[in-house]
């Protein structure tokens, strides 16, 4: 007997005027997987329609990280970075339910989010346009997960980082095309295409970084020089999709948590407070 969701997907597909037979076929295995995750039928159908719309972007590559089975997450990373600077000052871009923000141990915390959480109800662009200081010891970027925005957030963060300070970026490791796709398809666990910034950092003599294979990918970076700049590879990267990441993945400095902790320790202490610091 045909599974009930095939009929539901086909009905909603007809209503949206898409190729429902093809859509039902592409989605039958995906839907099985997602029903186990207790997503609502509305969500499944909405995603099915979008998968059909963007089916020509589909890529079969897969990184089989099981994030739930790795016992470190972004909170461990941020608190480790802050532990290098007693009484540190912290900025988080994108706070949502304050899951991370409330767990961070810092003397002063600023959280920027236009919708909820944090301390400043505005976009990161508006924040960086109006912020007057002081500089931060650690900045965590987790706002709008699209390449151009992550790039602007990193640029703003580097301008407001104390010498020796750290920037971390969340959701840098999509496991498949569906988690990565821009415009967003996946409702939960969407990483977007911020990963493109990692390839720009590879080309930068000014910035040292590691990509931690924990919690959907956490990139940790620090500047090697004053006034670091991010190389602009947008001509190559703007239209790149998940396949580019999959094919060039081996170039990235990926590490587990322990190796990252050793690297952080090697880099030396935290940031320096001897400047009030507008930028490095």
Ligand X SMILES: C[S@@+](CC[C@H](N)C(=O)[O-])C[C@H]1O[C@@H](n2cnc3c(N)ncnc32)[C@H](O)[C@@H]1O
Cβ count within 10 A of residue 84: 19
Instruction: Give Cα 68 to chain centroid, integer Å.
Output: 17
Closest CB 144 distance from ligand X, rounded Å = 4
Site string for ligand X, 149-168 (x = CB under 6 A): x-------------------
Applying the rule CB under 6 A, the residues between 38 and 77 that interact with ligand X are 74
The residue from 44, 95, 167, 207 that contacts ligand X (CB under 6 A) is 95
Cα 48 to Cα 56, 146, 179: the distances in Å are 14, 22, 14
Question: Within a 10 A sphere around the Cβ of 173, how many other Cβ atoms?
Answer: 27
Among 88, 143, 194, 228, binds ligand X (CB under 6 A): 143
Q: Which residues of 50-65 are buried (b: 16+ CB within 10 A; e: fewer)?
A: bbbebeebebeeebee
- CB 73 → ligand X: shortest distance, Å? 9
Count of CA atoms in the C-beta half-sphere (13 A) of 144: 15
Which of 8, 70, 96, 261 is in the footprint of ligand X by CB under 6 A?
Answer: 96
Cβ–Cβ < 8 Å for 193, 147: yes
Smallest distance from the beta carbon of 67 to ligand X, in angstroms? 13
Shortest CB 38 distance to ligand X, Å: 20
Least CB distance to ligand X at residue 59 (A): 23
Positions touching ligand X (CB under 6 A) are 74, 92-96, 99-100, 112-117, 123-124, 142-144, 149
């Amino acid at each position: 007997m045909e599974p009930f969701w095939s009929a539901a997907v086909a009905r909603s597909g007809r209503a949206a005027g898409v190729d429902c037979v093809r859509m039902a076929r592409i989605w039958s295995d995906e839907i099985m997987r997602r029903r186990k995750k207790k997503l609502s039928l509305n969500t499944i159908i909405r995603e099915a329609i979008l998968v059909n719309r963007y089916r020509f972007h589909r890529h079969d590559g897969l990184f089989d990280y099981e994030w739930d089975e790795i016992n470190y997450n972004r909170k461990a990373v941020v608190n480790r970075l802050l532990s290098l600077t007693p009484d540190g000052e912290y900025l988080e871009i994108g706070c949502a339910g304050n899951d991370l923000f409330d767990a961070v141990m810092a003397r002063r915390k600023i959280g920027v989010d236009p919708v909820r959480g944090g301390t400043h109800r505005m976009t990161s662009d508006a924040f960086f346009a109006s912020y007057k200081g002081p500089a931060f010891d650690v900045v965590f970027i987790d706002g709008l997960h699209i390449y151009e925005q992550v790039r602007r957030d990193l640029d703003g963060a580097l301008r407001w980082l104390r010498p020796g300070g750290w920037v971390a970026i969340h959701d840098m490791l999509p496991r498949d095309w569906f988690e990565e796709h821009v415009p967003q398809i996946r409702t939960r666990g969407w990483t977007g295409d911020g990963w493109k910034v990692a390839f720009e950092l590879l080309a930068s003599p000014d910035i040292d970084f590691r990509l931690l294979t924990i919690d959907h990918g956490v990139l940790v970076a620090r500047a090697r020089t004053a006034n670091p700049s991010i190389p602009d590879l947008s001509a190559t990267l703007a239209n790149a999709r998940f396949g580019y990441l999959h094919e060039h993945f081996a170039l990235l400095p990926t590490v587990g948590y322990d190796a990252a902790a050793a690297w952080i320790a090697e880099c030396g202490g935290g940031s320096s407070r001897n400047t009030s610091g507008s930028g490095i």
